[in-house]
Copies of this chain bind each other. A is one copy, B any other.
């Protein structure tokens, strides 16, 4: 039987607090215990995870889905064996792992997609990243070749961060890194201070990710929900602008930049707009350092971690680029496609040519994250969804 090789480019996992503690350096364990015992922090994490921080408790109680629901996949958020069984059962042979998995799991010191959302010593943010990365290394090693963990970094001390990125590569965390959307008061990403970061990620073939999540703290004031919803993807989209215009992709043609869970259709009008600016007469003198229009750098370096790809994204796949789009299940999140991935894919990709489905459902992710297709094919031949069920 002909089957799809399914790779989820957007999954989430994390340790339970007790598991995490052992990964924190001894020098920071007291700080970890204080952080972990802090009632206010726990409430903040609960509110963020359930959406109450943004939507309010009253609205969350009214949601169609209950994000506090402790289904079996909430065990899979941290239990390697359960997770593997559930992914196998759902036909997914490999995954890319981000933090922010469930209400029970944590990232030490609140690092992750919201890094720098409040004030805390840079060394604490950094230690949180390192502890999570150490856990992630072990978690990925439990299933060799099938888990690409995305490591966490801070950008306060670039030399230390470069060392940490080397550590990630040497310790089997092959998914690359999440670029913080906030730079904690440091200049943004056109500054030369970040050059070692781009260089090491290109050298070690580790993709850089922007993942939606961070916004300024709008406070507990009227309008915060609307403002949050109106601005959140813009903040996550900013790094693309900075990397393109400052020539990062010109200097690092092999660097891969992935934008995850921030939609994908916006990139078409955005690139048209950037190309139009590039053609303005005042740009003549800039072409020496940026010899090609922005859309060409997108084509060369960038990818969209487009999650479910329902609706408009699949329709606009040719404009965005069939080679640019990567599906994701969002496991173990309750709004994700597990355990009905095959059915959801049949809906979302109805009418799409199978050779295109193969790229968006796994082929592109295999290339970006360096998965071994020979190894994964063996699993796909057993568990992948039947090819005649998805696409045309």
CB distance from A327 to the nearest CB of B (A): 24
Q: Quick check: is A315 within 8 A (CB to CB) of the other chain?
A: no
Beyond A190-B222, A241-B231, A277-B226, whether A285 also contacts B247 by CB under 8 A is no
Q: A190 contacts which of B188, B192, B218, B238 (Cβ < 8 Å)? A: B218
Encode contact with B along A290-309: 1 for CB under 8 Å, 0 otherwise.
10001000000000000000
Q: Quick check: is A234 within 8 A (CB to CB) of the other chain?
A: yes
Once the chains bind, are A226 and B274 in contact (CB under 8 Å)? Answer: yes
Contact partners of A119 in chain B: CB under 8 A: none
Encode contact with B along A60-75: 1 for CB under 8 Å, 0 otherwise.
0011100000000000
Interface size class of A (residues with CB under 8 A): 35 or more
Q: A230 contacts which of B219, B245, B282 (Cβ < 8 Å)? A: B245
Contact partners of A247 in chain B: CB under 8 A: 222-223
Q: Could you tell me the distance between the alpha carbons of A281 and B62 in the complex, rounded to whole angstroms?
A: 9
Once the chains bind, are A285 and B229 in contact (CB under 8 Å)? Answer: no
Once the chains bind, are B219 and A245 in contact (CB under 8 Å)? Answer: no
Encode contact with B along A173-199: 1 for CB under 8 Å, 0 otherwise.
000000000000001101110000000
Q: Quick check: is A82 within 8 A (CB to CB) of the other chain?
A: no
Q: Could you tell me the distance between the alpha carbons of A242 and B221 in the complex, rounded to whole angstroms?
A: 11
Residue of B nearest to A286 (CB): B225
Contact partners of A282 in chain B: CB under 8 A: 51, 55, 59, 62-63, 225
Q: Quick check: is A224 within 8 A (CB to CB) of the other chain?
A: yes
Binding site for B on A (CB under 8 A): 51, 55-56, 58-59, 62-64, 187-188, 190-192, 216, 218-219, 221-227, 229-231, 234, 238, 241-242, 244-247, 273-274, 277-278, 280-286, 289-290, 294
Other A-B contacts than A192-B222, A231-B238, 10 sampled, CB-CB below 8 A, are: A51-B282, A63-B282, A187-B219, A192-B221, A222-B290, A226-B241, A226-B294, A227-B242, A227-B246, A230-B241
